[in-house]
Copies of this chain bind each other. A is one copy, B any other.
Amino acid sequence: MNDQSISLRRMGSFFVGGEQKAFSGHEPRDYILAKDGVPVQINLSGTCHVGQMYVQYCEPDADNNRVPMLLWHGGSMTGACWESTPDGRPGWQPWFLRNGWTTMTSDAVERGRSGWAPLDPGFTEAPFLRTLDDILYQFRIAPKGNPDLLHGGAARLFEGSQFPLEAMGQFLMQFVPRWSGTDALVLSAYIALLKKVGPAVVVAHSQGGAFAFHAAQAHPELVKALVVIEPSQGGLLEDAAQLASVPVIAVYGDYYCYDKRSQSVREKVEQFLAAIEQSGGDVDIIDLPKLGITGNSHLLMMEKNSSEIAALIQQRLVEKGFA
């Protein structure tokens, strides 16, 4: 499957969301932007765009009348997480594209190619960059306290891990700074995206899952199905019935027994999923270990069996009539 050619009708990118803002109170000053460079006068006062989101699309050649598939990444990451696995195999974006979907990969506001506005009040708090040490255990790749992991052996990952240990360096290079107060901007841009290209199937990882639930609650008519990969949060519990018409597929990996926070997060999400079901919705929880698929961390799209998991999702989408 992965070695076959991809025939595209169109590929490109665009931006959605946010607004133009005028910044004032600064005077022009001369900058030297490079050694021996010609000085350039820059005025920080003027018009910038704040809160936009970058979206890259690939349309397969075959016209199959499917809605597009939107790929929404998790916290501290960018759309790059869907393109290739850290060890260089095709990621879910080319996988789903090869399987007939128009893919639209976005970078949430502030991250990646979406950019951010240093002078805007939304960004004056200091951003932070996650460390490998925290990522490894919070994303259930390895036990806590693994200072030598980068230089160490597979024994230090969880027993049976499917994470591509040899590519840990490439994995760490994917992380970008994030702010913790930009959720409203990000959600607003995702809703703008749905309004522009929806209805769509949304595949969302971790923090992206939380945005996907909220965006779908705001505009259930624009979301044909939600595929949430280890979502970091549910939507608004009291309004769960808004998703009665939106089929939800939730996918979970392994090693929950080793991390209490992951357990708490999942319990809260599953309460939300139960509320959707109680209001008549279609909720399909894929608990991979229960299907005999073990060894997966929080990063299902990166692991050695990533294509197997994509195929499982595709199969459910086919069964539900979306592919």
> A: which residues have CB within 8 A of B?
5-15, 18, 20, 23, 31-49, 52, 54, 56, 58, 61, 75, 78-80, 83-84, 88, 90-91, 94, 107, 112-113, 115-119, 126-134, 138, 150, 169-170, 172-177, 180, 183, 207, 210, 232-233, 261, 264-265, 268
Contacts and interface: CB of A to CB of B under 8 A. Distances in A.
A264 B38 contact: yes
A123 to B, nearest CB: 9
A12 B183 contact: no
Contacts of A183: 34-35
Contacts of A116: 129, 176-177
Given A7-B6, A117-B129, A134-B42, A80 B54 contact: yes
A80 B37 contact: no
Given A11-B6, A34-B210, A207-B34, A79 B173 contact: no
A126 B126 CA distance: 11
A176 B40 contact: no
Nearest to A17: B173
Contacts of A169: 20, 49
A162 B177 CA distance: 37
Contacts of A177: 115-118
A129 B118 contact: yes
A133 B46 contact: yes
Contact of A49 (B94, B127, B172): B172
Given A34-B233, A56-B83, A127 B118 contact: yes
A52 B33 CA distance: 20
A175 B129 contact: no
A49 B134 CA distance: 14
A265 to B, nearest CB: 5
B115 A119 contact: no
A235 to B, nearest CB: 11
Given A47-B133, A113-B112, A180 B6 contact: no
Contacts of A232: 33-34, 37
A90 B12 contact: yes
Contacts of A138: 40
Given A131-B23, A170-B15, A180-B32, A7 B9 contact: no
A8 B9 contact: no
The 9 closest A-B pairs by CB, nearest first: A46-B131, A115-B176, A12-B84, A15-B173, A46-B133, A52-B173, A13-B83, A112-B113, A47-B132
Contact of A75 (B5, B23, B33, B113): B33
A323 to B, nearest CB: 21
Contacts of A115: 78, 129, 173-177
